[in-house]
Structures are given as C-alpha cells and as structure tokens.
Amino acid sequence: MNKYGLHGKLTATQGNSDKLASILLEAAQLVSTAKGCRLYLVSKDRTQEDAVLVTEVWDSQEDHDQSLHVPGVRELISQAMPLLAGKPEKGQVLEILGGAGI
C-alpha cells in the first residue's frame, strides 16, 4: 500500500510565523514518535513570509489521524491556533508512489 503524504501551508498573523514554526517543530518531535510517522518537515517559503509549510509522510492515513492522540499534540495545536490568520487550508493529500529517503 502506498504511503500517505500531506503538504500543507499554515498562514500566521503578521510577524508570528517564527513563533508558529517553533511550535510546529516541537510538534514534529512529538508526532515523530507516533506509529507510522516517516516524515514531518517544517519549512518556510521565502516568497510567503507569514506562511509555514508542513510536509508529512505516514504509513497510512489512519496512522496520521491517530497521531492527534499523542500526549502533548493537542496542547501544541491549541498554542498554534491563536497565531493563525484564518482557518488552516486543507493540505495537498499525496499518494507516495516511491522514491528515496524515507
């Protein structure tokens, strides 16, 4: 079965993208302990100063969905929400065909 990928953008309110990124980096450490987590990258797109990108790969969508129950993740989400400029867009759902690195 092909792995489940997500590539999404979270837009922070002006001047808060670094704070948002640091919360997501903390989340990455927690989430990476979850079953089936193969990749959780936090990045910036320098053409979109207030945006933070998250790129994830999981063995399955179910593993991804379960990761929300990892202790501490919901707290981090609640810290991040007030920093967002509007409702988070649904990320691009990717069916990972293969490649190298994970």
Question: Binding residues for a second copy, per CB under 8 A?
Answer: 5, 7, 21, 25, 28-29, 31-32, 37-47, 53, 55, 57, 92-102
- Residue placing its CB nearer to a second copy in the complex, 43 or 78: 43
Residue 1, both tokens: 């079965």
Report, in Å, the least distance between residue 33 CB and a second copy: 9
Give whole-number Cα distances, 73 to 4, 20, 79, in Å: 20, 14, 10
Instruction: Please name the amino acid found at residue 1.
Output: M
Q: How far is the CB of 68 from a second copy (least distance, A)?
A: 16
